[in-house]
Amino acid sequence: MPLDHYVTLGRSGLRVSPFALGAMTFGEDPGGAGCSVEESEKILKAYLSRGGNFVDTANFYTNGHSEAILGDFFAGNRGLRDRVVIASKFFGNLFPGDPNGGGAGRRSIINQLNETLRRLQTDYLDLYWLHQWDRNTPVEETMRTLDDLVQAGKIRYIGFSNTPAWVTTQAHTMAVLRGWSPLIALQVEYSLLAREVEGELAPFALDQGLALVPWSPLKNGFLSGKYKRGTEVADSVRTTYVGGPSGSEFDVIETVAAVAKELNSTSAAVALAWLRARKGTVVPVLGARRLEHLESNLAGLDVSLTPEQLNTLDEVSTPTLNYPAPMHGALRAMLQFAGATVDGEASAVYPPLVQSDVRY
């Protein structure tokens, strides 16, 4: 599947590529974790030349340099801006000592958006994400402000990232009931090594028709294929900050590698193909510090996993979800259906029950 086989992002009319390009690594501020302007533009050109149209950044990425690189690129390539879906995020405070420099209050959102639009050299954003939950601001203030910005034409759509399910649900339901702009997508950590989102946020998104846009789909590069048990990886900026995989994570890593060998593909491609096979609309964000990183990740568009391979990957990566998720599996079916099969789901009989037609 090429990048120009677009999907609709959630319950909206916005068409995007099946993989988004993440620009978190664009720019070398701070700490040298990103890539140069020249390499950033090579990566961007390669993505766009293949039909990619969905670019994701944030005001906080490389202290604003990521947005500035994108702004300079599109300013120098007139006609491209309106063909590309540009998403950015607000919340991060770039002004030390200023309590209103970040967060999700009305004043902060408007100021952050104006700065983002200035750096991007555009007069609108296609998608604006809340980057983190602001527990100091009423969520109705955030949602009303975002709706006002949609009405003003400064942003087109809105989404949430890294926000608790109960807050996300409250915000979305409030917007729907009050006629404000609803959420169309959630940007969440999601991969074979990070499936906790399946407890609350993923079911909510599926039920409401929201898209999932996974960040770190290769879990800090752990699923890239370069990590092997008992060895160290020198070429990894992330490892410096988060360390290497744990023992249980290597079980998943090795299973992914085995499936990749069966398909004559790569671990990265298999891990990305698994995400794309999840229910609903799932659009992973690809990050890259070098052009070859992007090239290898795009191979995930060409991999189709068999039901058996999907089942193998599901089983080895089964997450331990927070309560009450454990109550929603076999025990729920046993208590609810009492041995019957409903909607294709078979159930056992709860032990204390006696099979009888007696009704008390």
Domain at 315, CATH number: 3.20.20.100
Same-domain status, 188 and 258: yes
> If you search the block for the tokens 């690809």, which residue do you land on?
286
**pLDDT tens column, 104-119:** 999 999 999 999 999 9
Same-domain status, 281 and 335: no
Same-domain status, 212 and 345: no
Residue 2 within a domain:
no
Q: Is 47 a catalytic residue?
A: no
End-to-end Cα spacing for the chain: 59
Write down the catalytic residue from 47, 61, 157, 227: 61
State the average pLDDT over residues 312-337.
85
State the average pLDDT over residues 7-22.
98
Helix axes 106-120, 65-75, angle to 10 degrees: 50
**pLDDT confidence of residue 174:** 98
Note down the domain range covering 135.
7-319
* Length of the chain as a residue count: 360
Residue 232 within a domain:
yes
Residue type, 79: G
Is the pLDDT at 238 greater than 80, yes or no?
no
Same-domain status, 354 and 239: no
Same-domain status, 208 and 339: no
Is the pLDDT at 32 greater than 70, yes or no?
no
State the average pLDDT over residues 214-234.
89
State how far Cα 335 lies from the chain centre: 35
State the average pLDDT over residues 175-186.
98
Same-domain status, 20 and 96: yes
**pLDDT confidence of residue 329:** 73
- The tally of domains found in the chain comes to 2
Is the pLDDT at 134 greater than 80, yes or no?
yes
Same-domain status, 256 and 339: no
- Tell me the C-alpha distance between 1 and 6, whole Å: 10
**Model pTM?**
0.92
**pLDDT tens column, 245-263:** 988 899 999 999 999 999 9
Is the pLDDT at 347 greater than 90, yes or no?
no
Residue 1 within a domain:
no
% pLDDT > 90, the chain: 79
Same-domain status, 56 and 183: yes
At 124, give phi and psi (nearest 5°).
-160, 160
